[in-house]
Amino acid sequence: MNAAAAGAGVLLLFVIAFTAAATGMFTSSGGDTTCVLAASADIRAGAVAELDEEQRGNAALIIQTALQLGLPARAAVIAVATALQESGLRNLPHGHLDSLGLFQQRPSQGWGAPEQILDPIYATRTFYKRLVAVRGWEQLPLTKAAQAVQRSATPNAYARWEALAQQVVDAFTGFCVPVIPGEQVAAVIAYAYAQLGKPYQWGAEGPAAFDCSGLTMRALQAAGITIPRVAADQWRHGPRIPAGQEQPGDLAFFRMEQDGPGHVGIVIGNGQMIHAPNSREVVKIALYERADLVGFTRPIASEAR
């Protein structure tokens, strides 16, 4: 990845984190883990401040790759902690014996050719490929999950980085990431945040532009959830959620027409949503309490049934 692309990725993810902090958004992991972002934003900002530009760029790449692969945020925490231990989050052209790159992967151990390992995208995807092949990896302590992939001579060393890795992932995604296990809501909203500022185009499904239902469809796909393409069909996909019980990750529908609602957005909390409004505007955050509000659905709950 060239320097310009890396810099753009870092900038995008900082926009995601600090926009989320400004809105005070919160999300629940589905268990007992609930994080009010505003209460701990200073902690996460401090964690990111510990990293220099190169480290932030590599952390952003690791986290974004997890989202692109549809992995739970726990995978990113494990990967960031591993890279902190192995390379200090730097793409090193050297290491112990023939170890190379972000994760100090070894050509002699079947990780790939040196030029492949020194490609951070290849190295990160290969790490995740081996991680998800570990049985029950989501439930393992970080040290055991990382060791199952890396086979380090000092496996307990990964533990010292878990808190920092957790805070860095929290900062970049704008959520309280559950320590164990996955987080579909985080993947949905992180995808939506990453599209802020992109133009509206009727019929567009990304990555350069979106219409309203193209954005919601792609955001749900980022969490491994398939929903219909158009707003009216997404409304029928359900299940319906009574007003006042909506949560981050739910869909908000507007402007009832003959076939169903004509507009849809993604609830992010605090009465706000991310949506692609119309051809005069870009993907943005807005209030969803308005006169043409039809109702809410929860596609994540539908997927779980």
The pLDDT score that the predictor gives to residue 155 is 79
The pLDDT score that the predictor gives to residue 35 is 35
Superfamily of domain 183-297: endopeptidase domain like (from Nostoc punctiforme) (3.90.1720.10)
Residue whose token pair is 């999300």: 27
Please count the CA atoms within 13 angstroms of the CA of 26 that sit on its side-chain side.
Answer: 12
* Residue 40 scores a pLDDT above 70: no
Place 48 in a pLDDT band, splitting at 50, 70 and 90.
Answer: confident
Average pLDDT over residues 3-25: 38
DSSP line for 268-298:
EETTEEEE---TTSBSEEEE--STTEEEEE-
The pLDDT score that the predictor gives to residue 174 is 61
* Residue 182 scores a pLDDT above 60: no
Distance in angstroms (rounded) separating the CA atoms of residues 208 and 283: 11
Average pLDDT over residues 255-275: 95
Distance in angstroms (rounded) separating the CA atoms of residues 31 and 39: 19
DSSP line for 20-88:
HHHHT-EEE-SSS-EEEHHHHHHHHHHHHHTS-HHHHHHHHHHHHHHHHTT--HHHHHHHHHHHHHHHS
Q: What is the pTM of this model?
A: 0.49
Residue among 297, 61, 71, 66 nearest 184 (CA): 71
Among 64-78, 169-183, 190-204, 247-261, name the one with the lowest average pLDDT: 169-183
* Residue 27 scores a pLDDT above 70: no
Pairing assessment for the beta strands 240-241 and 251-256 based on DSSP bridges? unpaired
SS3 267: strand
Phi/psi of residue 109, nearest 5 degrees: -105, 15
Place 47 in a pLDDT band, splitting at 50, 70 and 90.
Answer: low
- Identify which has the larger pLDDT, 32 or 273: 273
Place 185 in a pLDDT band, splitting at 50, 70 and 90.
Answer: confident
- Identify which has the larger pLDDT, 275 or 77: 275
The pLDDT score that the predictor gives to residue 297 is 97
Residue whose token pair is 């002699």: 108
Q: Cis before residue 181, ω within 30 degrees of 0?
A: yes
The proportion of the chain whose per-residue pLDDT surpasses 70, expressed as a percent, equals 80
- CB of 252 within 8 A of CB of 296? yes
Number of Cβ atoms within 10 Å of the Cβ of 151: 10
Distance in angstroms (rounded) separating the CA atoms of residues 31 and 17: 23
Average pLDDT over residues 143-169: 87
As a whole number of Å, the CA-based R_g of the chain is 20
Place 14 in a pLDDT band, splitting at 50, 70 and 90.
Answer: very low
Residues 68-98: tens digit of each pLDDT: 888 878 899 899 999 999 999 999 998 788 8
- CB of 287 within 8 A of CB of 269? no
The pLDDT score that the predictor gives to residue 188 is 84
The domains of the chain are located at 41-173, 183-297
- CB of 269 within 8 A of CB of 23? yes
Query: Residue 83 has which token pair?
Result: 């890279």
Residues 102-141: tens digit of each pLDDT: 999 989 888 989 999 999 999 999 999 999 999 988 888 8
